[in-house]
Structure 1
Amino acid sequence: MSVRAIQSLVVLVILIGSHESTPIPDGLRKVEEAFVKILGQSSHLLSFARFTHKYGKKYQHAEEIKHRFSVFKENLDLIRSTNKKDLSYKLGVNQFADMTKEEFQRNKIGASQHPFATSKGSHSPTKRALLQTSAPSAKDWREDGVVSRVKNQGSCLEGSWAFSATGAVESAYHIKHGTGIELSEQQLIDCSSSFGSAGCIDGHPYQAFDYMKSKGINNATQYPYLAVQGLCRSNSDSVVNVTGYVAVALRDELELMKAVGTIGPVSVSLGVSSTLQHYISGVFTGSDCEVSSVQHHALVVGYGNDGSRDYWIIKNSWGENWGDNGYFKLERGSNMCGKLFL
């Protein structure tokens, strides 16, 4: 089985203050009462209580509650002011609404990495055939039922590389065999250090593909996810072996479109904008992406046009509560966020 890989790498708008007219469940009421004792009667207190209740937030002491509430209010102000600008995307409250921009950058995006992509890409027969194909004007592999569920990398800071790679292979397997499969990100995090990765500290999809070419990979049930690097526990019961992958030319969005449109979902690496912390819908066009380096890895599952601009459809690894059910749309045709292709 061959895998095509590329490196370069919500819509619920929270109406501020609208919760007060909604019946309050008993559990939420207890949270609100506890917060009133610490914060007093304050604007947005019920919104904060609903947020902590929904996402199961646990704070250690009163000072942390005060700090997180302050951050939450600042983020609400940012969300509201941004949405007033009538941009092509919307922001809203999600599980990251009590994190500062710096915390989000540090805990969910991580440090810069060196790109793998080359300026010319691969010259294999498969690559030459790809260059001669014509891509459809729009494609969404979710409609074909071959995109696996959105997963959550959790506290594994820079583990997105493993999720990007398994997502690409899971889709390639489904396209080839007509049945779905879920592969083990944990195995890649634990076992691929000899291929250049560093678990939750550093890694790249091409290292995962190289590992899977050499060793194969177990399914997620055999080797479940723990969100922390541990000792390698792989065995010989691999369910998938990757036979190869193809490099696409550096920042060549036409090649990316051909690969996604005619072959399947593709791993990408991006210079991510911290604005994505609060993204919930629309086509992201932010100018604050880190375009000179790779920080995050995801999976392009399609592309299209919303009537005014072209976009990529990207599957992320921050769970279904983030973004548009775990996905986001990124402007296509302008190399938004400095995409680098494998």
Structure 2
Amino acid sequence: MSTVIILLSVVLFSIYQTEQAHFLTDDYINKINDEATTWKASKSFPSNTSVEYFKSMLGSKGVGKSSNGPMKTEDPNYDNFHHIPRKFDARKKWRHCHTIGQVRNQGNCGSDWALSTTSAFSDRLCIATDGKFNQLLSAEQLTFCCHLCGFGCYGGWPIIAWMYFKYHGIVTGGDYGSNEGCQPYRVAPCTFDERGNNSCSAQPVEDNHSCYRECYGDSDIDYNEDHVYTRDAYQLTAAMIQKDVMAYGPVEASFDVYDDFISYESGVYVKTENATYLGGHSVKLIGWGVDWDVPYWLMVNSWDSDWGVKGTFKIRRGTNECGIEDSVTGGVPITY
């Protein structure tokens, strides 16, 4: 009897793991486009992609009050910004910092919390040094060495990542296969073949890697000397987000993802009425603006550049859409 129960459990688990995502059907996407007035949806993933695949990519545990970080409400540098521009794009403000617009690919790993925070820190360090530092920091090290941050490929807290930068520092590290920096990212990207099949679909989540305390990318780099730090770690109130970005550069932002967001193509995202919750996701906030009288935040995602608008998206600003304005974190780099 116990054997039968075990076998039944395995079968049910297998079905659950491979359950196709209903929200990828043409009918569902057409329904989104009938309802949404500020954005457009289209098929970004094959129809046979499993629900669990999408849930595994949503690794942020830092949405809303779950972040529990120190709240930053003022800064002497904020006094320099009495006027908030109607439109702001960090890529244009700091053109010499190439990492700001760089779109990452997290692969089959819920490391979005690590890619967004290391990317934002990279941008801020470039800005603070006027371009003398102009490379990526290691999402690999953060994902697999910061055990207090969370669970590696199974998610983490962005605010604790910034605390890790403050107390332990982080080394350099480029994208998968680049050999750039001390510890490049070692999770293979999710790619599509000529038939549109996703290389990560139906595959298990990446096993957590061992934490290395040496450089394996550019072996000429000294591991200990390569570390950089922030002087602090904080969450931002909604009113302070723009001033902090103008003062120091891009920040991390987490939000609740619903199934309609997966098919975002363009426009200003606003959750449709019957969309279903999937999980928390972490991205990089690089600016804001207004489209057709709809204010938005400008974001860089980590699902490669073939998703959304070349890997970026806009989400409604000023209404705490999907909890995003309660869930913004950052830190100020230490420069020498």
When normalised by structure 1's length, the TM-score is 0.69
* 2:247 aligned partner: 262
CA distance in structure 1 between the partners assigned to 2:274 and 2:213 by the alignment: 37
Task: Label 1:199 to 1:293 Cα distance change in 2 as closer, same or farther (>3 A).
Answer: same
SS in 2 for 1:301: strand
Shift of 1:237: 4.0
Which entry has the higher C-alpha Rg, 1 or 2?
1
Aligned residue among 95, 112, 122 for 1:170: 122
Which structure has the higher relative contact order (CA within 8 Å, separation 6+)?
A: 1
Once residues 127 and 295 of structure 1 are traced to their aligned partners in structure 2, the CA distance between those partners, rounded to angstroms, is: 29
Residue 320 (structure 1) aligned with residue 305 (structure 2): yes
Q: Cα deviation per residue 1:284-331 (whole Å; 9 max; x = unaligned)?
A: 011569999971111100000113210000111111111111111000
**Does the CA contact (< 8 Å) of 2:58 and 2:281 recur in 1?**
yes
Structure 1 residue matching 2:125: 3-state secondary structure: helix
User: Which residue of structure 1 lines up, in the alignment, with residue 168 of structure 2?
Assistant: 215
Partner residue in 2 for 1:186: 140
CA distance in 1, matches of 2:259, 2:323: 14
| Distance 1:117-1:328 versus aligned 2 partners, 3 A rule | farther
Confirm or deny: 8 A CA contact 1:271 1:295 kept in the other structure. yes
Distance 1:182 1:224 in 2: 9
Equivalence map 1:171-320=2 (5 Å): 171-177=123-129, 178-179=131-132, 180-193=134-147, 195-220=148-173, 221=180, 222-227=182-187, 228=206, 229-235=208-214, 236-249=223-236, 252-287=237-272, 295-320=280-305
Contact kept in structure 1, 2:251 and 2:328, CA below 8 Å: no
Q: Which amino acid aligns with 2:234?
A: A
Deviations, residues 121-148 of structure 1 (Å, cap 9, x unaligned): 236xx63543774332221011233305
How many residue pairs get matched?
268
Extract unaligned runs of 5+ from structure 2: 1-14, 174-179, 188-205, 215-222, 330-336
The answer as to whether partners of 2:104 and 2:304 remain within 8 angstroms in 1 is yes
Q: Which residue of 2 aligns with 1:115?
A: 66
Question: Residue in 1 aligned with 2:102?
Answer: 149
Specify the SS of the correspondent of 1:283. Answer: strand
AA paired with 2:186? L
CA RMSD, 1 decimal: 3.2
The separation in 1 between residues aligned to 2:235 and 2:273, in whole angstroms, is 25
Offset of 1:71 from its aligned partner? Answer: 6.1
Aligned position for 2:176: none
Q: Assess, with a 3 A threshold, how the Cα gap between structure 1 residues 289 and 215 changes in structure 2: closer, same or farther.
A: farther
Kindly provide the CA deviation profile for residues 235-294 of structure 1, in whole angstroms up to 9, marking residues without a partner as x.
334534123235244xx3221122223321011111122211111110001156999997
> 1:196-232: CA deviations, max 9, x gaps?
4221122122222222223322222221222242111
Name structure 1 gaps, 5 residues minimum: 1-63
Q: TM-score, normalised by structure 2?
A: 0.70
Q: Which amino acid aligns with 1:303?
A: W
8 Å contact kept, 2:159–2:234: no
Percent of aligned pairs with the same residue? 26
